[in-house]
């Protein structure tokens, strides 16, 4: 089970999510000024900060599945149909969805991100919500 965002997802989410919402960080390794990989760790790890090699690393926010669930809105309001929708997590399909009245899905929210993990589908959902102005950050 994937339990935290990968480096590319982390960089994308860091563009618009509050950094303090991340509960982890990547220690991203730089070679010749370019990122070549990274190791995630819990944000409170001060040992890395004081490392003699800290100048060769970038620190990039990283989100666990638990932190992403805290960021995902529990409800959204659709101004086009004037309805409120509540978050539903379908564990069988590994898919977040927004519904109202128990079975009416939000007409614009994509329901098939075609990712293999719940975390990946939640990342895609958060990006879609941000791109469609459903976040009030």
pLDDT of residue 55: 53
Place of tokens 């480096």: 7
DSSP code per residue over 55-74: GGEEEEEE-BHHHHHHHS-S
pTM above 0.85, yes or no: no
Quick one: pLDDT at residue 13? 96
pLDDT in tens, 60-85: 899 999 999 999 999 888 887 888 88
Q: Which of 87, 43, 51 is nearest to 67 (CA)?
A: 43
Q: What are the percentages of helix, strand and coil residues in the chain, rounded to 5?
A: 30, 35, 40
């Amino acid at each position: 089970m994937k339990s935290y965002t990968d480096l590319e997802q982390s960089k994308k989410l860091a563009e618009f999510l509050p950094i303090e919402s991340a509960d982890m960080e990547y220690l991203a390794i730089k070679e010749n000024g370019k990122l070549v990989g990274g190791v995630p760790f819990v944000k409170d790890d001060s040992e890395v900060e004081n490392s003699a090699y800290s100048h060769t690393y970038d620190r990039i926010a990283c989100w666990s599945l638990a932190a992403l669930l805290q960021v995902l809105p529990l409800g959204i309001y659709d101004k086009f149909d004037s309805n409120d929708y509540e978050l539903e997590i379908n564990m069988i399909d590994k898919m977040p969805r927004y519904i109202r009245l128990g079975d009416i899905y939000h007409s614009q929210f994509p329901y098939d991100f075609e990712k293999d993990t719940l975390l990946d589908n939640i990342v895609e959902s958060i990006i879609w919500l941000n791109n469609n102005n459903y976040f009030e950050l």
